[in-house]
Each structure stands twice: as C-alpha cells, then as structure tokens.
Amino acid sequence: MTNITTQYNEAKAQYATLGIDTDEVLRKIAQVKISMHCWQGDDVRGFLNPDGELTGGIAVSGNYLGAAHTPDQLRADLEQAYALIPGKHKLNLHAMYADTTEQVDLNTLEPRHFSKWVDWAKAQGIGLDFNPTFFSHANSADGFTLASPDDSIRQFWIEHGKASRKIANYFGEELGQVCVNNFWVPDGYKDTPIDRLSPRQRLMESLDEIFETSYDTAHTLDAVESKVFGLGAEAYTVGSHEFYMGYGLTRDKLICMDAGHFHPTEVISDKLSALSLYSSGILLHVSRPVRWDSDHVVVMDDELQAIGRELVRNDLLQKTYIGLDFFDATINRVAAWVIGTRNAIKAVLKAMLEPTDYLKTIEREGNYTERLALVEELKDFPFGSVWNYYCQEQGVPVGLDWLTAVKAYEKNVLAKR
Ligand code: RNT
Ligand code: ZN
C-alpha cells in the first residue's frame, strides 16, 4: 500500500468516530463540478478584439510570461490545468472568446462561431457555460450598455444578449448538460447621479426583451450578476444587488453571487441560505476580493470554507452552480487555475467531512458548548489525507507535485510563445 493509502485509512478511521463515511464523501465530491473561467488564461482579452483595452471597470495586473493568444493556445493551457485537477468539470466561456476567422461582431455572433469549442468540450468530456460580453467594445465606451440612454447602443447590446442565449442553448443541446448563461453589465456612473431610476428602468426593459424567447431549461439557464461598484463606476452601479434580487426572483433567473461584489465586510456565504429560500437556483462566482473587487486567485481562506459549508450544510449543491472568477497575471496563469480550482473543490470536500446532522441536533438542543468544542476539534482532523487520496484515486498529482508539471509546461510551452 502506498503511503497515501495508509494515511487515508487512518483518516478514514478517525472520521468514522464522528459517523462520517469518507468513502461516501469521495463519491459525492466527484459529482461536484466547478466551472473554470476561460478568462484567467489570457487576462480577459478574448479573440474578437485582443488588442483593445479591457474596460468595464475591471482590471488585470501583471505581465507574467505565456498568456494565451489564440484559441488553440488557450485550449492547450486549459488541458494542462484540467490534468492537474481531480474530477470532471466545466469551462466558462465569454462571448469574446469566439473561435472563428469570420469578421463578426458581438451582435452577430452565432453558434457556429463556437463549434470548435464544442468539439473540444466533447473530446474532453467537459461541459460549457457562457457569458455575453458587455465590455471592451466601442459601444460600451460611455460606460453604458443595456441601460444606455442611446437607443441604438441599447439595441446593439440587446441583440448581443439574444445572440448569447442562442449560443448557450446550442452548448446545452450539443453537450447534454445545462449551460448557465450569466449576464453581467458594467453600466454605472463615476459620480453621483441625479436620476438613479431611469437607467434601472432601461436595464429592466432591455433584459425583458432579451429574455422574451424561452429555451429548454435542460439546455440553458440564465443568470444575472450584481455588483456594488466598478472602476469608473464608483458612485452608482445600475445593476445593484437589490436590482438583480428583484429581477431574478420575479423572472425566475438564477442569481449570481460574486464574492467580490459587495461591501468589503459583507460576505456571500451568509447570503446563500436566505437566497435559497426564494430563488430557483444560484450561480457562484467564487473570487477573492482584497480591499476591493480585485479578483485575486481563490485561496483556502475563511470565506471560501464558509461558502463550502453553507452549500453542504443547507443541501444547496443541487441548485447551485459553482463558477470561478479571478484573473491574476503576476503568476503563472495555469498555476492560478489549478490553485483556485483545487481550493474550491477542497472547500466543498472539507465541508462534507463534518458531522452536520449531529451538529444541527446539539445546536437545536442549545448545547453550544459541545458545538464549539466539536467544531474546533474538527479543525485538527486529517483532512489533507482524504484530499491526497482523492487526488491519487482521480489520477492527478498529489500535493505540490502538480507544480512540477506546471513548471515543465512553462519551460516547454509558455516560455516559447
Ligand atoms: C465583473 C464580473 C464579471 C467578470 C467576468 C469577466 O466584475 O465579476 O463576472 O469578472 O464577466
Ligand atoms: Zn463575477
């Protein structure tokens, strides 16, 4: 028996004393899919206008070697990352990552411009999610898209929104698993507006127009993502949390909760249980804000673990789609994906290794002493041995061994770009 297996068996016995069946937990975690975002691979540039400026109030810092410049490079990088992550997952594409030689704009995109992505996803056995791209375009230069006071601008973006839904539906049909299509728009004002209502009214009406057509929910689900502020939209964001809570709940859309889109002391982990009582589904953008919506690589911090626990304790995994949203160009981009995605999986796995029913029972009985004692002792349980065994069983590197593969890839592939 390998060392990893021996350690796992010891851990298994220890968790069994709390009534936790680690074999069962490993079967469950293998079902949890993480939607890895394509945009970490090329600093949110895309392929439609890669030399254009990144706008929309988001920013990537860093100039690490080896960013992907072509769809083939991006796919190669993604394959390298997936090879180091246990389980079968999804890829989250943005509209601007169309893979085509045709001259096409955001409002004229068609499913065929993504057929190469679909072929690749089929070959890899992964699912696809989607996002219309409402930024980095001449028609968003004034900071407004679907809420623009200019009707022709608004119309362009409505057409884009409709096009994106057709593409998402095509992904779902082709791949036999639902494609979540997430709507985020950057619209907002740098300085305090007089009229906070009209832009929101226009956004509501634009979205209603985009969502007129219904698609089979087995193929695609729409999600809407709010935000508190963006760079250049510090004073007012049209698509605020209240806006999309209202919109999503009245139109039966998934509500996307991005961990970086709230006030700095607010956490999304505490919002999930409340939201779950009313919404048919939740999309997560697991991210890491550092002082602002900085989109740092997801690390194993308190909030990530709290998100994992909320999903498990409240039995929300069925109605929650877990996506990632970060972009760091100061480190190896493949490593960024691997670290962030492995951490997201680990957080859910760790939450599954808890005697939740028992903890709920003693809490109901008012036994807060044991609740605190047990939760604290659990922190010293050999979670790492379970994780390592999971990686071994899934045929991916254990521990830091994945970094060796990334370093070799950097030397042999990335450094030569
Ligand atoms: C921006 C949103 C949005 C983007 C992606 C690229 O603040 O979080 O999800 O990060 O669409
Ligand atoms: Zn996001």
Buried b (16+ CB within 10 A) or exposed e, 131-146: bbbbbbbebbeebbbb
Domain span at 272: 32-354
Instruction: Check which CATH number belongs to the domain holding 262 and give it.
Output: 3.20.20.150
Percent of the chain with pLDDT over 70: 100
pLDDT in tens, 249-294: 999 999 999 999 999 999 999 999 999 999 999 999 999 999 999 9
- Helix or strand run (H / E) with residue 257: strand 254-258
Q: Is the residue at 135 inside a domain?
A: yes
What's the predicted TM-score (pTM) here?
0.98
Indicate if the pLDDT at residue 27 is higher than 70. yes
- For 245, the token pair is 């809570």
Q: Which of 347, 351, 352 is nearest to 304 (CA)?
A: 347
Q: Which of 313, 363, 380, 390 is nearest to 14 (CA)?
A: 380
Nearest CA to ligand 1 atom 3: 184
If one compares 1 and 205, the residue with the highest pLDDT of the two is 205
Q: Is the residue at 162 inside a domain?
A: yes
Q: What is the mean pLDDT of residues 295-302?
A: 98
Nearest CA to ligand 1 atom 7: 58
Which of the residues 39, 117, 157, 184 is marked catalytic?
184
Nearest CA to ligand 1 atom 10: 325
Q: Let me know if 157 is a catalytic residue.
A: no
Q: Is the residue at 75 inside a domain?
A: yes
Q: If you average pLDDT over every residue of the chain, what do you get?
A: 98
pLDDT at 1: 66
8-state DSSP, 373: H
Q: Is the residue at 374 inside a domain?
A: no
Q: Which atom of ligand 1 is nearest to the CA of 230?
A: 7
CA-CA-CA-CA torsion sign (115, 161, 334, 36): negative
Q: Which of 64, 92, 129, 109 is nearest to 326 (CA)?
A: 92
Q: Is the residue at 393 inside a domain?
A: no
Number of separate domains in the chain: 1
CA of 277 to the centre of ligand 2 (A): 22
CA-CA-CA-CA torsion sign (341, 343, 346, 350): negative
pLDDT at 2: 80
Q: What is the mean pLDDT of residues 302-310?
A: 98
Q: Let me know if 258 is a catalytic residue.
A: yes
